[in-house]
Amino acid sequence: MHMIRVTVAGASGYAGGELLRFLAGHPMIEIGAVSAASKVGQRVGDVHPQLLSLAGRVLEPTTAAVLGEADLVFLALPHGESAAIASELPADTRIVDLGADHRLVDPEQWAAYYGGLPHAGSWTYGLPELPGSRERIAASLRVANPGCYATAVTLAIAPLAAAALIETTDLVVVAASGTTGAGRTPTDSLLASEVMGSMSAYKVGGVHQHIPEIEQSIAQVSGQRTSLSFTTLLAPMPRGIISTSTAAVRHGTTRKDLIDCLAEAYAGERFVRLLAPGNWPRTSSVSGTNAALLQIEFDEHSGRAVVVSAIDNLGKGAAGQAIQNANLMLGLEEAMGLPTDGGAT
């Protein structure tokens, strides 16, 4: 049986570590070089003590020479760093970029939300559950993995928008993420003494970088202009996202229409599930998995659809989805190596 060789850039980060955890259990993948920046020379076990099977591996420099000897390369790098290394890799190398560098089509949106960094162009957007995405991903050498918040919100809203059941110019989302969503760079706001027993808002007022990404996806599936009000919260937990997405419903839309729409959109999906009536998503239910849980209700008082979604920001929001995309690109079974069942709560 031919094993597929992959390399991982940014293996010292939280998403990089989760990639290694999933890949270590993948039956068709062999892990090649793993690279880092400031932690070059350290052992994987010193950075990710939970990765016992990879503990003795040494983190190498992030260069094209180190990463290029592979069937597929995962780039789990900070925003703005993927494009340079990707441009140096062989043209026929498959790449999944977990950063933001290649998600946005519009250069002006990129400049507005990513601090004037050069726009590197857009790659195939890697959210397999969107209509037509699987075929595009499977045919692509370069795939842009969606952002974590963008995944949670787009899965919740896209089917309703595509079916013209909601007003896409009146989307309001409030979402909370665990601390790993902010990355591994130490800051005062992420100290345990600041986070424990407290929740706080951040990037309020239309400035969060996932806004144009979400609007781009919703506009593409609906063919309509899209406007999103997005407020994010930091929750006192290490991982997970729970988002509440609301939208004004179009005249004549019923509660049954909304429920049926999501049920039909995700019927047969391995990783996205609409819960039974009365059950609501929990972050604990998806921790450590590539699953996304949804629930929908019709708020008749305000005339709005309300969709709650839960994902693991390191799973379906990053590493899990990256492997889901890689499986499609490599012609493997899409769910290979990816768990759907969470741990005990």
Query: So which residues are the catalytic ones?
Result: 148
Q: Which residue has the tokens 């309509």?
A: 224
Let me know: does 315 contact 269? Beta carbons within 8 Å.
no
Sheet holding 292-299, edge to edge: 200-202, 228-234, 166-177, 241-249, 304-311, 292-299, 272-274
Report the C-alpha dihedral over residues 60, 66, 68, 70, rounded to 10 degrees. Answer: -60
CB burial of residue 293 (10 Å; 0-12, 13-18, 19+): buried
Q: Measured at the alpha carbon of residue 311, what is the angle toward residues 282 and 302, in degrees to the nearest 5?
A: 65
Residues in the chain: 345
Q: Give the span between the Cα atoms of 82 and 85, in whole angstroms.
A: 6
CB burial of residue 152 (10 Å; 0-12, 13-18, 19+): buried
Q: Give the span between the Cα atoms of 168 and 224, in whole angstroms.
A: 7
What does the DSSP assignment read for 128-170? TTSTTHHHHHHT-SEEEPPPHHHHHHHHHHHHHHHTT-EEEEE
Minimal CA–CA distance to 30: which of 71, 75, 65, 89? 71
- Name the pairing type of β-strands 72-75 and 29-36: unpaired
Minimal CA–CA distance to 54: which of 82, 26, 96? 26
Q: Give the span between the Cα atoms of 213 and 150, in whole angstroms.
A: 7
- 3-class SS string, 72-83: EEEECCCCCCHH
